[in-house]
Amino acid sequence: MEAFKNVASVAHDNIKKVLAEWIESNYQVPLEHDLTCTGTTGQMIENVIKQKLKIENKMTGFKSVIKLKSGSLGSDHQPGAMITEGKIDVLIFSWGHMHMM
């Protein structure tokens, strides 16, 4: 199996903080792949990675995260379509407890 992958990530709002903490501790992992995310998740991940690279003076070689539409505008539909087109190898779908009122 190839080491390089086209990875997509979708994260519900109530899990984004946990995902940001994981990315902060493991930011080198997404650097080894092309990363596509829904809009808000992608912006958050990109900001965390850039901050870590800035601290370590390693800004060279980082490609930005491909950001799709957020929420009801794209959500998991766009990454799903990209999977069927062969543009995504791995999908990481993160969700937490949904609180209903």
Catalytic residues: 76
Q: How many separate helices (H) and strands (E) can be counted in the chain?
A: 5, 4
- Spell out the alpha helix ranges (H) of the chain: 16-25, 28-31, 39-55, 71-74, 77-84
Which two tokens mark 63? 């490609």
In one letter, which amino acid is 19?
L
Query: Strand, helix or coil at 67?
Result: strand
Cβ(68)–Cβ(79) below 8 Å: yes
